[in-house]
Structure 1
């Protein structure tokens, strides 16, 4: 299967986020191991210091090595090999754990030689809760005589709570991954609908063009017949059929052009185009199309030749001028002017209509967006003319913008100086 650029970007983004999550789990595991070693070291050093303090109190010489033996992850046996008291042991345990900043719940038991049993000492909890005590959790060690055992019931929970920031980052990354996957699914669904829409538009418009061409041929032939010419009423009806058929054909061509640009099948054939010739042709066609009195004002300081696709360049200018006249009440006045600076040549087309409201202005170049007219409740057109204009400008690497005032709408096309020949 051939991968498109869109699919490649999706795969790269997915594997990138997945890689970040894997790295996060790796860092989480490392942080867990580091925290575990650090806590175990604190426990070991604290218990060793407790034994040393007992020997100092007893004025004895510390002759026992390897006093501390880890039985389980949270259970330690400490060989003292010397007599010690319960309350002294608890005092030293609290003091040493506090000194090494070991904030853990713990409980301890001391081996009693007389009863040959482990005597439960106490459960030390910062919150004062002693309901967690487990007296049966301490077992005897037959190789030792003077020893105590210590247990940390909440040790494993402490590991996880100390890494809460890492867990938060991991959860956030999972949420990002879920949002990314959901967004990709929506985009793929939208892309599928777009492809179906373009296929439908192409098929529909091509199906319309065949009968429409037949209608135009038949209408033109009928209009040339003497019987029609002799009847003003029939001639008027035929003329209406021809004009409306041409208008429908123009709409179909616009839809086909926009669908073609959306599918990226359009190929620009850039040549040097004389701007004044294009404007002259547009003026002639506009005056033939409309019976109203139209005023054209051209403010070109000199002749300009533009590197552009002549066919599409004509279309976008014609669309802008046609819209200016179509949506202007009374006698339209269209002004085309050029502002020249160091980097760009800006071609502006202004009209004397009602302009566009502030809420509609940012969207007038969007496909299928239509502006409601102030003098009519009906919204005319398909909303594809200016979308086609913007698409062609983008393909030429030009910038297009719109501004509106009470005196009309101005469409500006910013052309780089690299595309201008003076």
Structure 2
């Protein structure tokens, strides 16, 4: 994935998370406002019933005006306009608040005409740990009235929103986890870029001395023939072979780094795949004369059959697969390549008699830098890039690749070409 595209997706994800968070806060605020309105409404209904019962106890009709005034969020004044029995008030308040689900601490006070003061009446506790507040302001132009205060109203409202708060808390935790994963992803990308830059710089630094070694070794080979100085010729030939092998590894790493830095583009052309496979087999047979590589194709498949492939990259895929089959073999390598039809699909299979791969390791084989940690492959040089490259090229061609293996028997790689 390109850097700009990844940063764009991360920015979109962060904007989405911030939007969800702000919307959730808005909904919580709306829910709190709704709960408060519901609470105030229930209090008004309960207090109206209290006033009605007080008037009924005195056989007096209710006044036409609303006797209830809300001074602030927690404080209510109720104008009775008649003297009343304070003992009844306690009973009426308890019963009506219970009926209207106002299950929170409250306190009330009654105005005393004789002392011209608000006298603390009683604090009704739902929670015994609540603090007592004895300050009740007096209001002018009212004679027979009482006041009710709800000191723990905010806590009661939040307790009534417990479901909302629980789900909101879970959502915030999930959003925090998402933010954490985005942070981890950025860190991993940073480390991956540092790793890629290091590999890129390291391999580039190898190229110059390798070129000098190859030039020098070839010069020695020209000046020392096998007949005159066989030891010098042998050593120069050994230097050339090892330098070429190391140069091949460096080229693999460079090509991989390049393909990750830039979008790898294929040069797709109609290629006669049977002819291409034969050329690859001829090349590998010259490189490994001890190996026996055979190729066959179904009688129903025409010899000039063509597929849209990138010639160079697909050749490298075959070269990598054959090279692995030869390197990871304890006996004389026998490799059978076959092109056949199966369920109306053209498939190319490569079967070898190598050491095989444990089943538990098969799912990791196409990962970059992965090498099977156990077995006889420890003596084989490599970086674990071959199969990663093979899988990448097959994916770009939209080819399916499948690998089956059994320890001690061999490995079969199958590529579906259409």
Same fold by TM-score greater than 0.5: yes
**Secondary structure class of the residue paired with 2:70:** strand
> 2:116 corresponds to which residue?
116
> 1:223 corresponds to which residue?
221
> 1:270 corresponds to which residue?
268
> 1:419 corresponds to which residue?
none
Task: Kindly state the Cα deviation for residue 295 of structure 1 after the two structures are TM-superposed.
Answer: 4.0
CA distance in 2, matches of 1:64, 1:199: 85
CA distance in 2, matches of 1:103, 1:173: 29
CA distance in 2, matches of 1:75, 1:169: 31
CA distance in 1, matches of 2:377, 2:260: 31
Q: How does 1:250-269 map to 2 (within 5 A)?
A: 250-269=248-267
Deviates more, 1:4-13 or 1:272-281: 272-281
CA distance in 2, matches of 1:355, 1:386: 15
> 1:415 corresponds to which residue?
417
**Secondary structure class of the residue paired with 2:376:** coil
> 2:139 corresponds to which residue?
141
> 2:211 corresponds to which residue?
213
Residues 242-265 of structure 1, C-alpha deviation per residue, up to 9 Å, x if partnerless? 221221121122112211211134
CA distance in 1, matches of 2:378, 2:9: 45
CA separation of 1:131/1:375 partners in 2, compared to 1, >3 Å: closer, same or farther? Answer: closer
**Secondary structure class of the residue paired with 1:360:** helix
> 2:331 corresponds to which residue?
330
CA distance in 2, matches of 1:208, 1:114: 104
Matched, 1:345 2:346: yes
CA distance in 2, matches of 1:164, 1:205: 61
> What are structure 2's unaligned runs of at least 5 residues?
none
CA separation of 1:319/1:142 partners in 2, compared to 1, >3 Å: closer, same or farther? Answer: same
Q: Is the 8 A contact 1:273 1:308 kept in 2?
A: yes
Number of aligned pairs? 413
Task: Kindly state the Cα deviation for residue 296 of structure 1 after the two structures are TM-superposed.
Answer: 2.3
Residues 21-46 of structure 1, C-alpha deviation per residue, up to 9 Å, x if partnerless? 11111111111111111100000111
CA distance in 1, matches of 2:348, 2:80: 95
**Secondary structure class of the residue paired with 1:66:** coil
Task: Kindly state the Cα deviation for residue 227 of structure 1 after the two structures are TM-superposed.
Answer: 4.8
Deviates more, 1:328-337 or 1:110-119: 110-119
Q: Is the 8 A contact 2:367 2:388 kept in 1?
A: yes
**Secondary structure class of the residue paired with 1:371:** coil
CA separation of 1:376/1:20 partners in 2, compared to 1, >3 Å: closer, same or farther? Answer: closer
Residues 341-374 of structure 1, C-alpha deviation per residue, up to 9 Å, x if partnerless? 4564332222112211123211111111111352
Q: Is the 8 A contact 2:110 2:118 kept in 1?
A: yes
> What are structure 1's unaligned runs of at least 5 residues?
417-422
CA separation of 1:130/1:324 partners in 2, compared to 1, >3 Å: closer, same or farther? Answer: closer
CA distance in 2, matches of 1:176, 1:379: 46
Q: How does 1:115-264 map to 2 (within 5 A)?
A: 115-127=115-127, 129=128, 132-134=131-133, 136-225=134-223, 227-264=225-262
> 1:42 corresponds to which residue?
42
**Secondary structure class of the residue paired with 1:372:** coil
Deviates more, 1:211-220 or 1:266-275: 211-220
CA distance in 1, matches of 2:260, 2:298: 33
Task: Please tell me the root mean square deviation across aligned C-alpha atoms, in Å.
Answer: 2.4
CA separation of 1:227/1:349 partners in 2, compared to 1, >3 Å: closer, same or farther? Answer: closer
> 2:384 corresponds to which residue?
383
Task: Kindly state the Cα deviation for residue 396 of structure 1 after the two structures are TM-superposed.
Answer: 1.6
> 1:404 corresponds to which residue?
405
CA distance in 2, matches of 1:387, 1:58: 94
